[in-house]
Amino acid sequence: MHIPDGFLSAAAVGTTYVISAGGVANAVRVARGKIGEKHIPLMGILAAFVFAAQMLNFPIAGGTSGHIIGAALVAILLGPWAAVIIMSVVLIAQSFIFQDGGLLALGANIFNMGIIASFGSYYLYRLINSLLGNNRRGKLVAGFVAAWGSVLLASIACALELALSGVSPMAVVLPAMGGVYALIGIGEGFITIAVLSMVMSTRADLLKLQRI
């Protein structure tokens, strides 16, 4: 899902950069003063996990690549604003160090995988968890749906940006991205509930941390 340089129009680059810059700045503002001692090591661990997981990617149609995102797990454990910060740091490091995602496309990649995936998964999790009850089963089902939904939403946003930039027709890139990431989302869902299950069994207190 990392969009390389040269794939987006100037309008798409400018718009997503402005939105992402504002989103990251607001995330830092919201997080300032809320981050406690338990948040810092968890943020580092989750950032490393997401970084490693996203490095495993493969090409798909429409000029981009497929991989898991990891935003849902971060948003569930730490909240959407913390997830935006962590995802942005990971995406910036990948772009500058490994050239995984272009510099001009960085705003779009942060918007898709940082903002949309984080907030989409967080509110999906809260909705499903409230419907099923705040218990172990409810948390795990909500985690799966949130992870799957975050991947699908981010892929749709990516496909729309590529189509509107004239890279690939909407009829090609949207089914390609949506179809592949709907399957990837299933895998991400299982990974998310596996980690959540482990956290509930060993460090249930982490689920009670203040969300950022």
Extended strands (E) in the chain: 58-60, 64-66
Sequence ranges of the domains in the chain = 10-208
User: Rounded to two decimals, what is the model's pTM?
Assistant: 0.89
- Residue 51: per-residue pLDDT: 87
- Residue 1: per-residue pLDDT: 73
- Residue ranges in the chain modelled with pLDDT below 50: none
- Tokens 């892929």 belong to which residue? 155
What is the CATH class of 10-208?
mainly alpha
- Residue 47: per-residue pLDDT: 92
Handedness of CA 88, 94, 95, 100 (dihedral sign): negative
Long-range contacts of 140-143 (CB under 8 A, 24+ apart): 140/193, 140/196, 140/197, 143/72, 143/73, 143/76, 143/189, 143/192, 143/193, 143/196
CB 120 within 8 A of CB 149: yes
- Residue 60: per-residue pLDDT: 56
Q: What is the pLDDT of residues 100-148, one digit of tens each?
A: 788 899 999 999 999 999 999 999 999 999 999 888 899 999 999 999 9
- Residue 66: per-residue pLDDT: 63
Nearest CA-CA partner of 158 in 116, 124, 98: 116
Q: How far is the C-alpha of 98 from the C-alpha of 89, rounded, in Å?
A: 13
- Residue 64: per-residue pLDDT: 52
